[in-house]
Amino acid sequence: MKYASYLLIMVMLVGVASLFVLKRPDGRTWLSLDDILGKAQTQAQQVLSESKQQLDKAVDMVSSKDEQTAQEKPAKIYKWQDAQGNWHYSDRPNARGQSEEMTLDPSKITIMAAENTEILKQLKEQQDAGRIPKDLPANMSPSDIKKLVQDAQNIEKLMQERSKKLEGI
């Protein structure tokens, strides 16, 4: 079986090699390295040119999208203060009172990931259960206070980095 496999492989190799030696009626060989390399090079050039066209198209799309974003009108938001003194911001004016219209420059808006607010949910649950008075949110455990201070320090650090980034622009 092993010798039969070797014999079959040898016959195939001789057959392929003979294509490089045997000549067609026009005098050229049936197979040549120039033909193989020429076809491969032509196909590679086609793939390369198609890739370049696709890349140019993608760059044009991205640059046109950037230009559209830069030309967009600044967003308008409204702010107002409620009876308790809390400030509210919305994309619509206050229906029950007077609102101050503000415009936002989209190039100066920074989007930050939300922090974990699990501690606030726990506080609300404890207040709802009557374990903590609703008007006294300072009744927190020392570990909760430590976490709150760490969160505040992280936010302060993020804001300082944002300020440095904006000053560098």
Profile the chain (169 residues) by mean pLDDT over runs of 10 residues: 89 87 84 79 86 85 64 74 84 84 76 70 79 61 78 90 83
Q: Is the pTM of this model over 0.85?
A: no
The candidate with the shortest Cα–Cα distance to 150, out of 108, 119, 123, 129, is 119
Tell the residue number behind the tokens 């409620």, with chain if given: 82
Rounded Cα–Cα distance for residues 76 and 91 (Å) = 7
